[in-house]
Amino acid sequence: MVVSRRAAMRAPSPALLAGVKAALTVLSAALAAALGALAFVSLRVARRVVTPAVRVADTRILSLDTSAQTITLARTPDTQLPGRYGLFTSGTESYVKLGSVLAEDATSVKRKLLTHIGAQTRISPDAAFSGWYYDHPEELHLPFTPELIGSAVGPCPAWLFPAGDGEVWVVQVHGRGTTRAECLRAVPVFHALGITSLVVSYRNDGEAPRSRAGTYALGATEWRDVDAAVGFARRRGARRIVLMGWSMGGAIALQLELNSAHRDAIAGLILESPVVDWRVVLGYQAKLMRLPAAVTGLAIGALQTEWATPMTGAGAAIPFDRLDAVSRSGELRHPILILHSDDDGFVPSDASHDLVVARPDLVEMQVFEVARHTKLWNYDQERWSDSIRRWLERQGLAS
């Protein structure tokens, strides 16, 4: 058979074909490796989302002056904030209270100590900054009793601060990676208005019992433990109940508003730096970690898929649609006060603003700046307290 010279010129040489094949093999292997790495990172992110957080050192103590009762910290967005805060430490002191900023420069911040530190005190330089301020209920100098709330996972510890005639209660719900103590700052505001405070715990928070999986469901199951606390309050005489949620506690409070069998007793919600839509929060956190947007999508996809739960560690699929209070805003029944800082730094305020737009008839928002995440009381206690007080008065809940 005779092949024309022109046809021969068009036919690829065996060497070229071999080269193309080798290149495709390399590209396929590289693509597979990239997709594998993306999937691996996404599963790690997913697992981290549902794994109960532990307190980690985020603050460096540079010096301690026991004679002047001052402490110098490395400068961070938190340590430079004005107001009163706490610092988890290790050594001869486990927790100290911080007062106002006395001096600062580009790398350090000197603050007044509000916990007396003796000359023999030894504290590790690694510490964790906190907005709690109050670490134990006794520090409020208000009558209280420890309680146990029966729930599906077992008895959940709570603190009960009685006030007024006992008809109006607030059930306070702490956030992710924290405990009941986070809520103590708000108790005096409610107590002064004659409102009984029930400060609760929920599954997997380190104080309440552990679920079988031992992981968070981002509010999808935790709300049932808080719902049990609402039932407890009703049995103790509460006729109108305010739900107050901090951060993830806000997501839990919103799930009660949407799902509770006690909705007829709920009088309103107060949400401090709340999670309103988890997808917004996870997308924001991914950007902070400089992760590709695809990682967030894959992580959310894995978390909301039943077959992936063995890999994510979640006890069950996370129903992100059901946890999205903006898309379910038409189901809301009760007035809501949101307190959120636009530079929260952890839970962006976007979804909070969206909820106001979706339900302006029910939702009021007090927008803060500079205050950061769940530190609004610390940053501006007077405005924070007045906002809650005036809202409660308008709802006819303050005595």
CA–CA distance from 352 to each of 133, 135, 160, 326 (Å)?
25, 28, 29, 8
Under 8 Å between Cβ of 91 and 123: yes
**Residue 182: burial class (beta carbons within 10 Å; 0-12, 13-18, 19+):** buried
Encode pLDDT of 204-257 as tens digits: 999 999 999 999 999 999 999 999 999 999 999 999 999 999 999 999 999 999
Residue 102: the pLDDT is 98
**Distance separating alpha carbons of residues 377 and 379, to the nearest angstrom:** 6
Residue 17: the pLDDT is 52
Residues in the chain, overall count: 399
Encode pLDDT of 23-64 as tens digits: 545 445 554 454 455 566 777 888 888 999 888 899 999 999
Three-state secondary structure call for residue 264: coil
> Tokens 């486990």 — which residue?
94
Cβ-based neighbours of 36, under 8 Å, separated by 6 or more: none
The stretches in the chain having pLDDT less than 50 are 1-2, 8, 24, 26-27, 31-32, 34-35
Residue 282: the pLDDT is 93
What's the CA angle centered on 206, arms 201 and 207, to 5 degrees?
Answer: 45
**Distance separating alpha carbons of residues 392 and 337, to the nearest angstrom:** 9
What Rg value do the Cα atoms of the chain yield, rounded? 26
First-residue to last-residue Cα distance in the chain: 105
Both tokens of 167, joined, read 């008809």
Residue 381: the pLDDT is 97
Note the Cα 80 to chain centre separation in Å: 21
Under 8 Å between Cβ of 275 and 352: no
Under 8 Å between Cβ of 73 and 105: no
Domain ranges in the chain are 59-130, 137-394
**Distance separating alpha carbons of residues 67 and 350, to the nearest angstrom:** 45
The helices-and-strands tally (H runs, E runs) of the chain is 12, 14
18 sits in which H/E element: helix 14-50
Cβ-based neighbours of 87, under 8 Å, separated by 6 or more: 59, 61, 71, 73, 95, 96, 97, 98, 127, 128, 129, 130
CATH architecture under which domain 137-394 falls = 3-Layer(aba) Sandwich (3.40)
Task: Look up the pTM and report it.
Answer: 0.90
